[in-house]
Amino acid sequence: MGNEKSALNGLKIDEQPVEITDFWIHYMAYMNGHNIQNISVFVSEPSLHYNANFGSPSPLEKAAKNLMLYRHPCILKYVSSWSKGSKFFLATEQVKPLIQSIENQSTLQICMGLYNILRALVFLHEKAYISHNNLCESSIYVTLEGCWKLGGLECLCKFKDLTSFYLQRIRKYRYEKAISSNEDTIFISKNFKTIDVYAFGVLAEDILKLKDPADVPSLLEFKQFCKENLQNPDPSLRTELSHVLQHPFFTHDFMKIYAFLDELPLKNSQEKEIFFRTLIKKLKIFPENIIAEQLGRLLLSRMVLLDITAQEQLLPFILKPKDGNDKTSSNLFSISTFKVYLVPKLLQMFCIRDVSIRLVLLSHFNSFVYTFQDDELKSQILPELLVGIKDTNDHLVSATLKALADIVPILGAATVIGGKRGKLFTDGRPNKLKDNNEIDNSINIAQFTIPMSIQKIIDLPERPSPDGGEDKKEITSSIIEEEYTWSDWDIQETGDILKILQPSKKISQSQSKSNDISIPNSTLKITTDMIWNL
């Protein structure tokens, strides 16, 4: 960390900053590679923190070090950090400040967000034995998927090193409202967790101040709890944050589902089996748009996709949109909801080169393939599928070919398999059946190209014309030699084809002249009699 060699390759930083603080400037950025990765980059310059009394390291350098050391799903994800000239750079997962999006957050989103922040603080207190010391809206970030992440770790301090002098030194850089008036009394009891407990009470009260108590169960009680308990002037009377997680505000039915999915890696096999067997029934209680928006990311997570019970009891109802005419369908999402919330996630998942994930997606591909836009299928899904047919895994290749067949009716054979083709099949039904149009005319006739080397040696056996085959109209098909798009599918040996096409006995010398095959200028000319012979 902290050297120029750590700079990310192919990094492109936006010119317009997302946020400017006393300590750094926050930019959006991306890294070029096989898959473009969007990230956030925080840049620190001496002019931005010249008055900070942090000494060395600088606030951003300290935040970067702490993010690298203390990893948790609810803490801002560290990517890299480096110095270049007089500037220091910190790269993290792509996020935006909570302050910029809090007005658009629903009460349920805030409930889930506060739950994440609680989990991060409990981890810092009970696993790392450290205090955050500056919990406020400006220290919280939101990912593109809406998850709240705890940041602002520049004021972090281990319990054993926390002193009154340290808190006094950084006081002017902390959120003043989140500092208890009698903070110094905590050094008597040595219960340093109460610093963040008080700050969390202030944070929750501020964010939930204007929310309707009817939006989420126990919201009104939780507001009172934050005011009377978490902000109690006596630090010893404040409830520990690990116990706050058990408040009814965080344990209603929807939050139980969210919490279980979010903590799925910690659950044993029996717990997961019981959970997934009853999950669909529980989810159908809630509006589908709320489920898709708040839980879509978790329902399509790697841990869910690879769980055997989830594959049987959950995924068939998630990955197949409802039929608009079927009111009794057990599927969760309508086509419109599926397109808005799940399709973007599926597009990302098809870029993952993991055979287990890909096979699960392909097993349900025909259920959701029509929810993609044509350009999404052509530019994102199709290229990834073409990679799949090159793999050495026969099961993956087989499933991929079936998926390609599902795309043909949407994009057309020319787009999926490429190449120029000719019409090699004719409709040999009696005219009466043709008039009745028993076969849908919209069905495309299969077309393919015969290499020139095979055209010149094909020999067709004679066979008497069957009843109804008196029509001697000739059918001409011009076959043009071309370079195949899928080279692996080229016919590599002509011997097998000749064994099929050539008769087992010698062709009669009295063969009709009308049955001769001539190939002038690479043109194959076959009479109707010959079609019957085939």
SS3 assignment for 372-420: CCHHHHHHHHHHHHHHHCCCCCHHHHHHHHHHHHHHHHHHCHHHHCCCC
End-to-end CA distance of the chain: 72
Two structure tokens written together for 114: 């506060």
pLDDT digits (tens, 9 = 90+) for 188-242: 888 999 999 999 999 999 999 988 888 899 999 999 999 999 999 999 999 999 9
Can you say how many angstroms the Cα of residue 148 is from the centroid of all Cα atoms in its chain?
18
Residue 481 dihedral angles phi and psi, to the nearest 5°: -70, 135
Query: How many other C-beta atoms lie within 10 A of the C-beta of residue 75?
Result: 21
Contact 400, 382 (CB under 8 A): no
Fold of 11-95: Phosphorylase Kinase; domain 1 (3.30.200)
Apex 203 CA angle, 199 and 81, nearest 5: 80
3-class DSSP state of 520: helix
Say if strands 95-97 and 87-93 run parallel, antiparallel, or are unpaired.
unpaired
Closest among 529, 446, 520 to 478, alpha carbons compared? 520
**pLDDT above 60: residue 114:** yes
Q: What is the pLDDT of residue 54?
A: 58
Q: What is the pLDDT of residue 421?
A: 73
CA-to-CA distance for 209 and 220, rounded, in angstroms?
10
pLDDT digits (tens, 9 = 90+) for 473-502: 444 444 444 444 444 444 444 444 344 444
DSSP 51: T
Which residue is listed with tokens 């919209």? 442
Q: What is the pLDDT of residue 148?
A: 96
Apex 137 CA angle, 134 and 142, nearest 5: 115
CA-to-CA distance for 440 and 442, rounded, in angstroms?
5
Q: Do 11-95 and 97-250 fold alike per CATH?
A: no
Which residue is listed with tokens 């290749």? 397
Calculate Rg over the CA atoms of the chain: 33
Amino acid identity at 495: G
Can you say how many angstroms the Cα of residue 191 is from the centroid of all Cα atoms in its chain?
42
CA-to-CA distance for 48 and 25, rounded, in angstroms?
8
**Residue ranges covered by each domain of the chain:** 11-95, 97-250, 254-416
Instruction: Give the global pTM.
Output: 0.75
- Sequential DSSP letters for 225-244: HIIIIIT-SSGGGSPPHHHH
CA-to-CA distance for 395 and 155, rounded, in angstroms?
53
Which residue is listed with tokens 């019409």? 423
Closest among 338, 248, 19, 243 to 151, alpha carbons compared? 19
Q: How large is the average pLDDT for residues 135-148?
A: 94
Task: Say whether domain 97-250 belongs to CATH 1.10.510.10.
Answer: yes
**pLDDT above 60: residue 369:** yes
Amino acid identity at 421: R
**pLDDT above 70: residue 412:** yes
Choice between 301 and 8, residue whose per-residue pLDDT is larger: 301
CA-to-CA distance for 82 and 320, rounded, in angstroms?
46
CA-to-CA distance for 62 and 101, rounded, in angstroms?
26
CA-to-CA distance for 190 and 450, rounded, in angstroms?
84
Contact 82, 4 (CB under 8 A): yes
Amino acid identity at 234: D
pLDDT digits (tens, 9 = 90+) for 69-79: 999 999 999 99
CA-to-CA distance for 241 and 123, rounded, in angstroms?
10
Say if strands 37-44 and 25-31 run parallel, antiparallel, or are unpaired.
antiparallel
Query: How many other C-beta atoms lie within 10 A of the C-beta of residue 463?
Result: 14
pLDDT digits (tens, 9 = 90+) for 16-68: 999 999 889 999 999 886 667 899 999 997 655 555 455 678 899 999 999 99
CA-to-CA distance for 204 and 140, rounded, in angstroms?
12
Contact 232, 194 (CB under 8 A): no
Q: What is the pLDDT of residue 240?
A: 95
Residue-averaged pLDDT of the chain: 82
CA-to-CA distance for 326 and 339, rounded, in angstroms?
18
CA-to-CA distance for 336 and 322, rounded, in angstroms?
10
531 HSE (CA, 13 A, CB side): 20
CA-to-CA distance for 316 and 274, rounded, in angstroms?
17
> Distances from the Cα of 88 to the Cαs of 16, 412, 471, in angstroms?
18, 52, 83
Q: Is 311 exposed, middle or buried (0-12, 13-18, 19+ CB in 10 A)?
A: middle
Contact 414, 448 (CB under 8 A): no
**pLDDT above 90: residue 151:** yes
pLDDT digits (tens, 9 = 90+) for 244-253: 999 999 999 9
Q: What is the pLDDT of residue 429?
A: 84
The b-or-e profile of 4-13 (16+ CB within 10 A means b, else e) is eeeebeebee
**pLDDT above 80: residue 167:** yes
pLDDT digits (tens, 9 = 90+) for 301-322: 999 999 999 999 999 999 999 8
Q: What is the pLDDT of residue 346?
A: 96
Q: How large is the average pLDDT for residues 368-385?
A: 95
CA-to-CA distance for 289 and 294, rounded, in angstroms?
8
pLDDT digits (tens, 9 = 90+) for 239-281: 999 999 999 999 999 999 999 999 999 899 999 999 999 999 9
Contact 369, 406 (CB under 8 A): yes
DSSP run (H or E) holding 91:
strand 87-93
